[in-house]
Homo-oligomer: A and B are copies of this chain.
Amino acid sequence: MYVIVVYDVDVKRVARVHRFLRTHLHWRQNSVFEGEVTRSQLYEIKQTLAELIDGDDSVLIYELPRENFNLHVIGTDRNPTGEII
């Protein structure tokens, strides 16, 4: 499956969440990551995020059956190559 992850977390926890997500997914923009994952990886990602976040933090994970979308970028494409940073 393919996931798009968007996080909105307190600035105190941004670095931790970002560091964790980049070990599993491609960074796409500011607070957006993407990538192909297995069901067990998705489960692990959800579990770890639940531990990392706190307070009013919110993370959305869009789980698509596969990478089946067109991506339109308006303005700056922050990571056009899908490079893992």
Query: Which of A's residues lie within 8 Å of B, judged by CB?
Result: 4, 6, 8-9, 28-32, 42, 46, 49-50, 53, 56-65, 68-78
Task: Kindly report how many copies of this chain are found in the complex they form together.
Answer: 2
Q: Which residue on B lies nearest to A59, using beta carbons?
A: B74
Cα–Cα distance between A11 and B31 once the two chains are bound (Å): 15
Which residues of the partner chain B approach A71 to less than 8 Å between Cβ atoms?
60-63
**Taking A8-B30, A30-B8, A31-B8 as contacts, is the C-beta distance between A76 and B61 under 8 angstroms?**
no
Which residues of the partner chain B approach A29 to less than 8 Å between Cβ atoms?
6, 8, 58, 60
Which residues of the partner chain B approach A57 to less than 8 Å between Cβ atoms?
75-76
Which residues of the partner chain B approach A28 to less than 8 Å between Cβ atoms?
60
